[in-house]
Amino acid sequence: MRRGALWIAIGSMLILLALGGLGLGGWFAVRAGRAGDLETALIGGCGGGLAVLFLLFLGVGFVSEGLTRMAATVHVDVEPRAARLGETLAVQIAVEAHRPLVAGPIRLRLMTKEFMAFWVWDWFRKTRRRKEEREQTRVVQEIRIAGRVELLPGLPQRYMAALTIPIDGMASFRREERGRLGTDVHAFEWWVELEVGLQGWPDAYEKIPLSVRPVRVSPAPEAPAAEPVSDLPSSDPLRITLAAWSFPVGSALRGWVRWEGEARQRVHVEAGYRILAEGRNWTTLIGRAVYELEPGQEEAFAFEIPSDGPITCSGDLYDIRWFVRGIADRPLAPDLSAEVAARVVPGSM
């Protein structure tokens, strides 16, 4: 309850500060307007208004959280927090009232969020750039723990529940790439959320972040390749062949590069993945090798796939696609390239 009173005191101070800032900003704008400086008056009024709104919402949030803490304390424990695909999470919940009240409903959710943020050119802005953000939140699983519950001080209510991460889900992922305009971000997040309704008081929420590894509890059935996976048939002399249809994270992406040209050729072989979204792509290379190949010569390659992925997936906002490509340097002609799509899947334990 003392912590709740502290939150309320902080929130009240922020609200008073917002009201004081509103008066000060209005006085500044009026004075600048009377002096004929309309641009300063407009900037000061708009900037001051935004600051006041920010402080006001922040203050209301602190007061609401303080009232919730004065009414009840909610605790959630999730094991394990570093989970695997297909794994079941054990959840323990404790709700302790600080005064007689009625709670309910109590809901437990397993949530995901797919997020991306990137910079684009904007010639109408002074900085010539604009940040675009997209996010998609999904409820993977929801459990109604309890309906109407009467709580008394000193008698906490305890509950146990289980949530299961889908075996074919996407693992936790975050990638940042710094470009000419700024840092682009792609991420996929998991968390457990508890909602406790408190009649007459602000509802209580608890959020427990999870780290879901690209590893399955049990191996998924994979159809074995009848033969190595090659690029599309063509008359080009550069050929890339993969050793299998799919490769688990933490293993090596293996295959062969073959040159059927008429003279000795230097060939670069690269492996990596692309993030595809809204007609754009972001490429990350995990390995590169250089070969000096004679006509008809074939060499093996192997690139280690990071143990944290990412895996091949199709999301709501972006897709992740793995590839292996070969590039033949030809000083007197355009470079020749060949590319094969690879499939990276979760590992198994």
Q: Are 251 and 286 in contact (CB under 8 A)?
A: no
Output the pTM of the full model.
Answer: 0.79
CA-based angle 213:214:218, to the nearest 5?
100
Digitized pLDDT (tens) for each residue of the chain, 349 residues in all: 445 556 555 656 655 666 666 666 665 656 656 666 565 556 655 666 666 676 666 655 555 555 556 668 899 999 999 999 999 999 999 998 888 888 889 999 999 999 999 999 888 777 788 899 999 999 999 999 999 999 888 889 999 999 999 999 999 999 999 888 899 999 999 999 999 998 888 888 999 999 999 999 876 555 444 446 555 444 579 999 999 989 999 999 999 999 998 889 999 999 999 999 988 999 999 999 999 999 999 999 999 999 998 999 999 999 999 999 999 987 767 778 899 999 999 998 6
Packing angle of the helix pair 2-34, 38-71 (nearest 10 deg): 170
pLDDT of residue 225: 45
Q: 281 forms bridges with which residues in the sheet?
A: 276
- Secondary structure (DSSP) of 5-38: HHHHHHHHHHHHHHHHHHHHHHHHHHHHHHTT-H
**Alpha-carbon gap, residue 287 to 324, rounded angstroms:** 10
* CB count in 10 Å sphere of residue 231: 18
Burial of 177 (0-12, 13-18, 19+ CB in 10 A): middle
Strands 265-277 and 72-79: unpaired
Q: Are 295 and 264 in contact (CB under 8 A)?
A: yes
46 contacts: CB under 8 Å, gap ≥ 6: none
For residue 318, which of 268, 281, 270, 344 has the smallest C-alpha distance?
Answer: 281
